[in-house]
Amino acid sequence: MNQIITSLLEQDAYKFSMGQAIYHQFSDYKTTWSFKCRNTDVHFTEEMVEEIKNQIKAFCNLRFTEEELEYLENVIWIKGSYVDFLRLWQPRYEDFYIGTDAECGLSIETKGTWLNTSMYEIPTLAIVNEVYFRMQYNYDELFESFKKRLAEKVEKVENGSIYLSIFSEFGLRRRLSAEAQELAVKTLAEAKLTSSTFLGTSNVFLAKKYNVTPVGTMAHEWIMCTGQGNHKHNPAYSNWYALDAWVKEYGVLNGTALTDTITTDCFLKDFQLTYATLFSGVRHDSGDPIEWGEKMIAHYEKLGIDPKTKTLLFSDSLDFERADKLFRHFNGRAKVGFGIGTYISNDTDAPALNIVMKTTRCNGQDVAKISDVKGKGMCKNPDYVEYLQRCINWRMEHDNK
């Protein structure tokens, strides 16, 4: 099998956003990441696991080129000190444990500095996904079904029957293949869209290649580690620590806040006038999107901020039809944007994998995510999840500010 990850720029943009802030503020933090396949009917064979090991070894041999570093340095919010760090940085295969001791036949864990392990998540998932689909199915037939479906959905956007406002491709971690994702980004970048705007992709390598915007700010790991990695912090205030550190790094730049790491209701306790003003918008990743959008608009209005000046970015399990419906609901009341992943990058005749790789420990202690719906969190210690939930409940009941 050809090498799957061929450039260290094949990374979601938010990894560089977070990476710079980690480098400047949390370089001593250490994290553990764990892989999980949520599909109950999927099994990885020993041959697949061996190929995944070989692909990750090949990824660990990559280095940033000067051309790639020059591209990053031209991104307005990236600083020269971080680029100099990336000039020296390399992935370490020694940080990986890859085995077969899991129900699905594949277990992966990474341990090391947060600076390192954060950069492993996305390439690892992209490798696992592509190895599985190439070895489990007739890949050529799958790719043909992918091309057919891609053409059909792009036609809907071109002829105006689907309206997506401003949208981006977010599918690197769960793409059918590098070939498929590149075809999707190229097709969308070249499409004749009259009523929608294709802004860019989370894949920085493809953003560079097709001259579109690399899109992404923060992920759940940012809130989990900044808020729960310092064991002196009350974890119910995780969002405050995360927002504060982000503003220290970026000021008013690069500002889309993720709301659902320890529930959106708890997030809103900390997303008061200063942060709500400084951040250009918020991202939805779990729970009912209409209910969430209404809640965010009401919150902005309560603070005296015009919601029309802020962006609601939706990124949870979207297809074009769902995005169209959300745009029509919120159009004229706020700026609306979409990050659409699997539906663009892995829509074939075969069901997509539901695989994740999450931070499970930071600085030797458990960390957890309690999102707006059950089933999206991942923590190996139920006692810690119960503790975190109790902290959140206490704050929600007693903090009336």
Place of tokens 């999450």: 358
- Domain extents for the chain? 13-136+350-398, 139-345
| pLDDT computed for residue 374 by the predictor | 77
Residue 287 C-beta-side C-alpha neighbours within 13 Å: 20
Domain 139-345: homologous superfamily in CATH = nicotinate phosphoribosyltransferase (3.20.140.10)
Instruction: Tell me how far apart the alpha carbons of residues 179 and 203 are, in angstroms, rounded to a whole number.
Output: 13
- pLDDT in the model for residue 204: 98
pLDDT in tens, 158-190: 998 999 999 999 999 999 999 999 999 999 999
DSSP secondary structure code for residue 203 in this structure: B
* pLDDT 10s digits, 109-130: 999 999 999 999 999 999 999 9
Backbone angles phi, psi at 378, to 5 degrees: -160, 110
365/367 Cα distance (integer angstroms): 7
Residue 251's pLDDT band, with cuts at 50, 70 and 90, is very high
Q: Residue 197 pairs with which residues in a beta bridge?
A: 166
Alpha carbon 118 to chain centroid, angstroms: 11
Q: Specify whether the CB–CB gap between 357 and 35 falls below 8 A.
A: yes
Residue 355: both structure tokens together: 């695989």
| pTM metric for this prediction | 0.96
In this predicted structure, what is the pLDDT of residue 299?
A: 98
Domain 13-136+350-398 in this protein, CATH class: alpha beta
pLDDT for 400 equals 74
**Integer CA distances (angstroms), 208 to 214, 341, 393, in order:** 8, 18, 44
Q: How many residues does the chain have?
A: 401
What is the pLDDT of the chain when averaged over all its residues? 96
State how far the Cα of 288 lies from the Cα of 141, in Å rounded to an integer: 35
Residue with tokens 């792009």: 154
Identify the DSSP state of 140.
H
Q: What is the pLDDT of residue 401?
A: 62
Instruction: Tell whether the model's pLDDT for residue 70 goes beyond 90.
Output: yes
DSSP letters spanning 124-135 = HHHHHHHHHHHH
Q: Is there a shared CATH topology between the 13-136+350-398 domain and the 139-345 domain?
A: yes
Cα 367 from Cα 221, distance rounded (Å): 9
Q: How much of the chain, in percent, has pLDDT values that exceed 90?
A: 94
